Structure 1
Amino acid sequence: MNANDLHDIIFYAMYASLVAALIIIIERGLFFAYTRRQTMRLLRTLTADIRHLHELPAEFSQRNSLPATLIAPLLPQAANRSRDEINDVIDTQYLQSKPHMMRGLWLLETIVTAAPLLGLLGTIMGIIETFKALSAAGISDPSQVSAGMGTALYATGLGIAIALVCLLGNNFLQSRMEHINEALKVLLLRAGMPHTRQPIKPAAVQENGEKRYA
Structure 2
Amino acid sequence: MMLFLHDASLYLLYAALVLALFLAVERSIFYTHAHRQLQSLLQSLHERRALPDFRSGDVGAMVVAAFTHGLHATASQKIADDAAEQAYIRVQHKLTQRLWMLDTIVTAAPLLGLLGTILGIFDTFTALAKSGISDPQGVSAGIGTALLATAMGIGTALICVVIYNAFLAWIERLGDETKLALLEMSKQTAP
Structures share fold, TM-score greater than 0.5 = yes
1:56 aligns with one of 48, 51, 55? 51
Q: TM-score, normalised by structure 2?
A: 0.92
Task: Look up the SS of the partner of 1:74 in the other structure.
Answer: helix
What pairs up with 1:117-136 in 2 under 5 angstroms? 117-136=111-130
CA contact (8 A) 1:126 1:148 kept: yes
Alpha carbon RMSD of aligned pairs, Å? 1.8
In structure 2, the partner of 1:110 is: 104
Equivalent residues of 1:124, 1:152 under 8 A apart: yes
- Amino acid in the other structure paired with 2:10: F
Task: Give the TM-score taking structure 1 as reference length.
Answer: 0.83
Flag the structure with higher helix content.
Answer: 2
Residue 163 of structure 2 corresponds to 169
Q: Distance in 1 between matches of 2:14 and 2:78?
A: 51
Q: Contact 1:48 / 1:194 at 8 angstroms: preserved in 2?
A: no
Shift of 1:5: 1.2
* Regions of 4+ moved over 4 Å: 47-50
Match of 1:192 in 2: 186
Indicate the percent of aligned positions where both proteins have the same amino acid: 40
Q: Say whether 1:145 aligns with 2:139.
A: yes
Q: Which moved more, 1:95-104 or 1:156-165?
A: 95-104
Whole-Å separation in 1 of the counterparts to 2:47 and 2:3: 68
1:73 alignment partner in structure 2? 66
Residue equivalent to 2:151: 157
Shift of 1:71: 2.0
Alpha-carbon distance, 1:61 to partner? 2.8
- The equivalent residue for 1:91 is 85
Counterparts of 1:195 and 1:81, CA distance in 2:
9
CA distance 1:186–1:121, change in 2 (3 Å) = same
Cα separation, 1, equivalents of 2:51 and 2:82: 24
Q: What's the CA shift string for 1:67-113, capped at 9, x where partnerless?
A: 23322231474111111210011111111112210111111011011
Match of 1:212 in 2: none
